[in-house]
Amino acid sequence: MEPKLISIIIPTYNAEKSIERCIRSIQDEKVEIIVVLDGPTDQTEAVCEKLAKEDSRIQLIKQENQGSFQARKNGIEKANGNYLMFLDSDDAYLPETMPTVRMLIESYYEPDVIRFRYRKEPEGYEQYRYLEDGKEERYLSKEDFKNTIYPMILDGYQFNSLWCNCVKRELLKNQAMERIPVERYGEDLFVNLEIYTKMQNMVLTEKVLYQYITNPQSATQTRNVSKLFTHLQDSIQIYSSFYTYLTKWDMNTEEYQEKVGKRLKKETDRLIQLIQEEIERKQEGK
């Protein structure tokens, strides 16, 4: 059987030191690598152009600096693959990533979504296992998702990141993405909620297939009070939207409404604490 084409979308800004490592970690010839240049001001574009001349898998897209979310949207528009994956330019795949993903696509007759785990470097932290049944992989129907995964999401388990997914292109052909018009905190979760609502099945693997490499200078690592307040506003919006998803999932009961309330409080309390810490840090620095 002819292997399915997978499009891997890499949004990149100023990543001259990491983008080559990132691209070279994709060890699969039957892929389309879409690098979206988000208005870089360093040598990222030159590095990518050099790599594209050497590697026919690479397609470059250029945009003015609009953020990684818009870059992903533009990448999806250009993608030709049967499946989509997302890789951040600071990060990397492991040697077993693509062989494992392909094996799961074939073994489970082209599931809608494959989800795997990540390892954070250089700390060596591994994301906790999704399930406690001891299996290395598990097929989940829509009903399984309602009984098992939706409650886990409401409880705060890590199903947020897009880059731990391999998703059928038809689920993401900008229908889910169009619901989020601007770059914002929690955008991955917004998109995943749409995916998890529309899909009919998923394969969960407990294998670690993604290297999340900490960059202290990246947008997600940089703190300031103004940005944290924006994150707080976004957090209130996204976790309040869970009430709407309860109706979509036919789970709008008092028990699950209470879970949403607890999740909303947990996430907003965390950001309020960070805001307070940042204000105190600045005051001490005066």
pLDDT (tens digit, 9 = 90+) per residue, 180-208? 655 677 888 888 999 999 999 999 999 99
pTM (whole model) above 0.85 = yes
Q: Do 110 and 18 fall into the same domain?
A: yes
8 Å CB contact between 63 and 36: yes
Q: Are residues 164 and 239 in the same domain?
A: no
Q: Is residue 247 part of a domain?
A: yes
SS3 12: strand
- Do 93 and 229 sit in the same domain of this protein? no
Q: Decide if 1 is inside a domain.
A: no
Residues 89 and 20 in one domain: yes
Q: Under a CB-based contact definition with an 8 Å cutoff, are residues 120 and 220 in contact?
A: no
- DSSP 3-state of 269: helix
DSSP secondary structure of 85-142: EE--TT-EE-TTHHHHHHHHHHHTTS-SEEEEEEEEETTTEEPPPS-SS--SEEEEEH
Residues 130 and 269 reside in one and the same domain? no
In a shared domain, residues 161 and 55? yes
State the residue for tokens 């292997």. Answer: 3
Nearest one of 108, 72, 282 to 180, comparing CA atoms: 72
User: At which of 213, 236, 256 does a domain end?
Assistant: 213
Instruction: Tell which of 213, 236, 261 closes a domain.
Output: 213
For 59-93, write each residue's pLDDT tens digit. 999 999 998 889 999 999 999 999 999 999 999 99
Neighbours of 39 (CB within 10 A): 15
Q: For residue 87, count other CB atoms closer than 10 A to its CB.
A: 24
Q: How many domains does the chain have?
A: 2
Residue 218 forms part of a structural domain: no
Do 174 and 234 fall within a single domain? no
User: Residue 154 maps to which CATH number?
Assistant: 3.90.550.10
Q: Which of 189, 213, 237 is the last residue of a domain?
A: 213
State the pLDDT confidence band at 219, using cuts at 50, 70 and 90.
very low
Q: How far apart are CA 245 and CA 265, in angstroms?
A: 17
Domain enclosing residue 239, as ranges:
225-284
